[in-house]
Structure 1
Amino acid sequence: MSAPNPLFVQLIEAREALGLTRAEMARRMGYSTSALLYWEKGRTSPSIDVMQDYAAVVGMSVTVQPTETTGAATHDMFARTRLTDDQLAAVRRAQHEGTTAA
């Protein structure tokens, strides 16, 4: 088993900081919990689309940039929009309000 992509590690940390379980994250993304587990453990590599979906749920974004030498998209990806403590608190409040309103 290999380690997950360093970018995905940032996304996992964001999920954990928000207090989202794997099951809840998978539900919000529309994937199975086992698929999410495989990505998070580095057993399989998620597609760019999956990483973008994951990032959106945790309030981040993923951008793919072409390399200078080939122009092809590579693993030169990075996560943007790290949440500040205030933003994270606002996300948690919104999540709580969403669960209590349902």
Structure 2
Amino acid sequence: MAKYPHALVSGLITRRRELGLTQKEVGRRINVSQGTVAQWESGRNLPPVDRLESYAGAVGMRLVLVTVEGAS
């Protein structure tokens, strides 16, 4: 399983904090527990891409994934 870039997760955390949202509030918005959000933010567990997109939406961001042909 690939690891998400630290800058991506860091950006989501920064935005959550700028909005004054707790992990619990973000979790409520996307139907996961606070513990799950904490694991994602710490890198202990990686969310599926659809949940990552939901997290981004919950903090007013949009996640755009770009694939590069031939990349390994």
TM-score tier (shorter): 0.7 to 0.9
The residue type equivalent to 2:21 in the other structure is: L
Q: Which residue of 2 aligns with 1:58?
A: 59
| Contact residue 11 and residue 55 of structure 1 kept, 8 A | yes
Q: Which residue of 1 aligns with 2:26?
A: 25
| Contact residue 22 and residue 33 of structure 1 kept, 8 A | yes
Which of 1 and 2 has greater Rg? 1
Q: CA deviation at 1:63?
A: 1.1
**Cα RMSD for the two superposed structures:** 1.7
Inter-partner Cα distance in structure 1 for 2:66 and 2:43: 22
Q: CA deviation at 1:40?
A: 0.5
The residue type equivalent to 2:59 in the other structure is: V
**Regions of 4+ moved over 4 Å:** none
1:26-55 C-alpha deviation (Å, 9 max, x unpaired) = 111110111111001110111111110011
Mapping for residues 1-102 of structure 1, pairs under 5 Å: 5-70=6-71
The residue type equivalent to 1:6 in the other structure is: A
How high is the sequence identity, in percent, across the aligned residues? 37
> TM-score, normalized by length of structure 1?
0.61
Q: CA deviation at 1:68?
A: 3.6
> TM-score, normalized by length of structure 2?
0.84
| Greater per-residue strand proportion | 1
Inter-partner Cα distance in structure 2 for 1:35 and 1:49: 14
Instruction: Report the CA distance shift for 1:5/1:49 in structure 2 as closer, same or farther (over 3 A).
Output: farther
**Please, which runs of 5 or more residues in structure 2 have no aligned partner?**
none
